[in-house]
Every structure is written in C-alpha cells, then in structure tokens.
Structure 1
C-alpha cells in the first residue's frame, strides 16, 4: 500500500475535490470521525468545513494546517468498504491523528480504488501535531497494515545501476541524452494527450521540449521531431536530439497515432467532467492566479500558462495526474479558455509585469520579458507537490507515476552515446561502399 500525505492551507478545496467525486458517482463517503452530525444524516461540504473550523481558528500560525492523505492498495487487492474504514482508522491512530476530526472518501473513478482522508494537523486547542519522522512512521504503518489486512506489499524494486530515474533532467549533467530517453520513452504508456502542444506541456515538467522539423530528401518531403533540454526559465540549452535516438515511441509517426488514440479515450472518460468541475471551483474560490495554481496543485493538477511578450495569456493547459490526461482549457469548456483566464487575471498580470519592468529595467533574459511571473514563481510546481515535506512515499526511488499510485518501470539501462556512435560508424561504412 502506498500512502501520500499532502499538506495545504485550503480546507474548502480539499473537501470540494472529494465531494465532487461523490456527486459524480465516482466516490463515496465511507466514514466520519468527530464530525458534526446533521438531522437528516446527509453530508455537505459546509457541514464538514464547520466541523474543521475550530481547529483552523485555534491556530492561525501554522502555514499548512490541512491534511489530505490518500491510501492506495495494490490494484490487485480486493478491499471491502468495512476494511477500508478500519484501515483508515488504524492508519490515523498509528500516525498520531486518531483524536482528530476526519472524513474518509472512497474514490472509484480509476481502476485503482483508493481512499482519501481529509483532516487537520492542529488540534482543537491550537497545538500543531508533530510531523517528525512522518515518512518513516507512515512506512511502518503501511507495512503493518499490509500484514494485518493481507494486502500485497509495496516492496522496494531492485535496480540496475545503469537505469535512469523518471524525473526532471539536469542539462548540466553529461548524460543529457540518457536523461531525455528515460522520460520520453515512457510518457506515452502512462499519459493521454491529443496533440504536440499538450505533449510539450507535459514534457516541460521534465525540462524538455519537442519541435517538429520539416525538410526534403531526394525530392521527397520529410518531417520528424527533435528534442531539446530546457533550463528553469524554459529556454533551450542543448543541441537538438533526433527522436530516433530515443526509440519509435518518441517519433512523430507513433506520437500522431497516440494523439488519435488519446482523443478517443479521453472523450469517453468520466475524468473530464470531474477535472472541469474541480477547476471551476478553484477559479471561483481563489483570490488570483497564484492561489488558483496552489489549490489545483494540492489536487495533483499542474497548470502550464502560455503568455506572449505583452503578458497576454494565449494558452492554458491542465495536467491531471490522477486521470493521467492533459487538456487544453478550451477542450474542457468555453468558460475555461485562455481568453477567460486572461480577463480574470488581467490586473494581476499587469501589476506583475510593471513590477518586473521597474525591478529589471534592462533584463538580460528574454524569459523575464516573455513571462512576468518568472521572478516570483518557479515553472515546475509539480515537484513542489511531490516534495518530501508535503508528500510521503515508501521508496526514495519512486518517480512521478509512483507518486500518484502507479508502478512505472524504470528505463532500461542503455548507453545512448554508444548507440549514436554505432549509427555513425554504419553511415561511414555505407559511404565507403558507395565510394568503392
């Protein structure tokens, strides 16, 4: 069983996210603990929020008092609702949260049925509960619960020393090609996206971008893809790498097939409606762009905002790591298009843009000019969400997919420098034969 412990400041957002699953018949409220009861026995977000309000009022100094925990058994485990209730109770007690108020939601919108627990890390007296050794304590709790409920254990995988981690690349390292390969060869297996734009939005989280190239060879038009490494400002900082270096799944032909398959699957997915509703709630409850991104990040949703050199938003892409789908805002609805967000955040963007100009009258980087937010915000916020302070895993080697409950096979240990050298030698041999 894999546990994820998220900490945030938005109780209403955490409750709304889970209640949406229930409203869409993709979830259920399994049990409540120390939560106000209602006359008719029905539960509402307002009722839940008022139950947690005394905890939040008692301690206003704790920056992230909201706990949003998910417990994820192996997809092969058959866990009954009664067992889920008891597992949640036992886990909270083992973690020192047994006396807290909490709500347990079951999610059934994906193959991996799992539970979410919403609670607080401050008690009714305003005392912050200790988070020391939280990761270790969570690991111990999960191992014990696996044995008690006969669950399939989440054991540490053996690793080939040559394997690369599925993580953002470091362009300063010597093995940039191997790093890119470890990402692009696996993304199509786990994520659905309908075009090059949404594919690049996902790649940007790993400091990578892809560009389509066209040309002519022996009178025939040819097209393909090349990949670049990016720095933290989103600027290209490497020579182009041909897609052929990374296997057929990284090439344009296979990607175009993936785009078509994704379009069919995504349009039939229930996750689209849930994502749309989650975004709409955040849009109407957040005070601005920064708060909006923070709320969605707490739900495992990344946002990639594209702006022109005047700061106007011309593209919004949402990366939902729960359903593993990537959507442009306009695909979700007209009310989530780039123009709508531009109007909502216009004053905030103008103020940041003016502040950027005042603070940087002669910016040396085009990134500041193109995106006035770069001075105050890091581009890869997903990895704030996966930071050890906010999220607990059972294996330091778990990558992005494991963080959201799946099992990603690591990239096979291949030496791409040798692969390139081999191809170059084959070309030389061909040229020699033609010369003879």
Structure 2
C-alpha cells in the first residue's frame, strides 16, 4: 500500500485501511481520501468498492503479484539513478530535487514524532514503484538519511515533470483546494488510463482468468 500511495499522493489522494484495531482494517476494507496541500485528509472518504474499477484491497493484492514481475526490468536503472545522485553527497532536499528532475518522486514516510521510518520511489517514466528496502539495504530510509549532508540549505518546491505529460495524455487536472475533482473521479481516471501500458500478452492472459480493469 505505501508504494501505491507514493503514486496517489502526487494527485492528492491516499488509500487508507484505517488503524489496525479498526473494523475496516480487520475486515480488509479500503477507502480513498482526498488530501489538502499539506497532506491532511479532507472531505468524505469513498469506499473502494464504490469506485469505477473497484480498486479494493483484494484487487490490489492481485495487481501486486503481476506488477512484481513487470517492474523487475526497471530496478537496476532506478538504482543507478539514485547512485549517481548520492555521489554528490546531497542534502535531503537536493536528493529529492535531483530525482524529481529525472521524473522520480520520493516519498519519505514519517511517524507521529516526525521521524523518518520508510522511503518509496515512484518512477513516473517507467511507471514502476519501489520501497527503498526492495532495492537493497543501501537504499533503505535509514541508510539514505544517515548519508545525507547536514548542511542547511533553503528548501525549494519540488515539481513533478511527469504531471504535465500525464495531464496532456489523459485530460486529467491535478486536484486543487477548490475541490474540482473528487477522490472517486481521480481514481477512475487512473484506472482507465494505466491499462494502456500493459503488454498485450499479459492483458490477454489476465482476461482469460477474469475480466477486470487493472492499474499499475
């Protein structure tokens, strides 16, 4: 789920299972929420089962199995991109900006105390997503943050070059605080477009088992 949310957060959306002691979590439920510009949840949550394509937890788990194979071809290139940037001994902000320039979005996961405990890379060019630990121990959140230069430099806003390409291709506009789009509309847009990039053979095999729309 963190890997999926690394992509969804670029569109101010998050998939949420609730707390571990909640009924929703225990029954494998899933909802989608809109986020404001500060990453805070806003609006009314939408059940996964009520969204076009039904991106429920069970649906996503099946997608994860397929994507585990599809993304392997992109793993080494992503590691090379990260390694080249680390050679410059960047600060955390410089690291994020440099990867953003390559179309790679970095999401640092923090606990309630603000401590970083996880990192996810969303490569918008190859449409693949990896948790740092999936790339190797050297790419875990702890290993990377320990190696960042501690020099204080002004943080600049990180842009995602991929957004313009995605907008031009799908007609989708990024959510604004004006609330032009709902979480449901955004998820429908993603579900409708991502099937275009799955190899024909894989699509045919999946359709034989069960007809369903799929996302990356």
For this structure pair, what is the TM-score category when the shorter chain's length is used for normalisation? 0.5 to 0.7
Provide, for residues 86-134 of structure 1, a one-character-per-residue CA deviation record: whole Å limited to 9, x for no partner: xxxxxxxxxxxxxxxxxxxxxxxxxxxxxxxxxxxxxxxxxxxxxxxxx
**Contact conserved, 2:90 with 2:149, CA < 8 A, in 1?**
no
Instruction: Pick one of 252, 255, 273 that aligns with 2:60.
Output: 255
Alignment match, 2:93? 290
Specify which structure has the bigger relative contact order, considering alpha-carbon pairs within 8 angstroms and separated by 6 or more residues: 2
Query: What is the CA distance between 1:254 and its match in structure 2?
Result: 0.8
Matches within 5 A, 1:212-291: 212-213=17-18, 215=23, 222-267=27-72, 269=73, 271-291=74-94
Alignment match, 2:169? 398
**Contact conserved, 1:286 with 1:295, CA < 8 A, in 2?**
no
User: Partners of 1:396 and 1:306 in 2: how far apart?
Assistant: 26
Inter-CA distance 254–233: structure 2 relative to 1 (3 Å threshold) = same
Query: What is the CA distance between 1:253 and its match in structure 2?
Result: 1.4
Query: What is the CA distance between 1:234 and its match in structure 2?
Result: 0.5
Query: What is the CA distance between 1:336 and its match in structure 2?
Result: 0.7
Query: What is the CA distance between 1:311 and its match in structure 2?
Result: 4.2
**Contact conserved, 2:31 with 2:47, CA < 8 A, in 1?**
yes
Q: TM-score, normalised by structure 2?
A: 0.67
Q: Secondary structure at the match of 2:121?
A: strand
* Structure 1 segments (4+ residues) deviating >6 Å: none
Inter-CA distance 398–337: structure 2 relative to 1 (3 Å threshold) = same
Inter-CA distance 377–225: structure 2 relative to 1 (3 Å threshold) = farther
What number of residue pairs does the alignment pair up? 171
User: Partners of 1:347 and 1:308 in 2: how far apart?
Assistant: 21
**Contact conserved, 2:119 with 2:131, CA < 8 A, in 1?**
yes
**Contact conserved, 1:300 with 1:320, CA < 8 A, in 2?**
yes
User: Partners of 1:244 and 1:313 in 2: how far apart?
Assistant: 32
Inter-CA distance 310–411: structure 2 relative to 1 (3 Å threshold) = closer
User: Which has a greater percent of helix?
Assistant: 2
**Contact conserved, 2:89 with 2:147, CA < 8 A, in 1?**
no
Q: Secondary structure at the match of 2:169?
A: coil
Coordinate RMSD, CA, aligned: 3.1
Inter-CA distance 284–227: structure 2 relative to 1 (3 Å threshold) = same
Runs (5+) with no aligned partner, structure 1: 1-195, 353-372, 402-409, 413-436
Inter-CA distance 332–260: structure 2 relative to 1 (3 Å threshold) = same
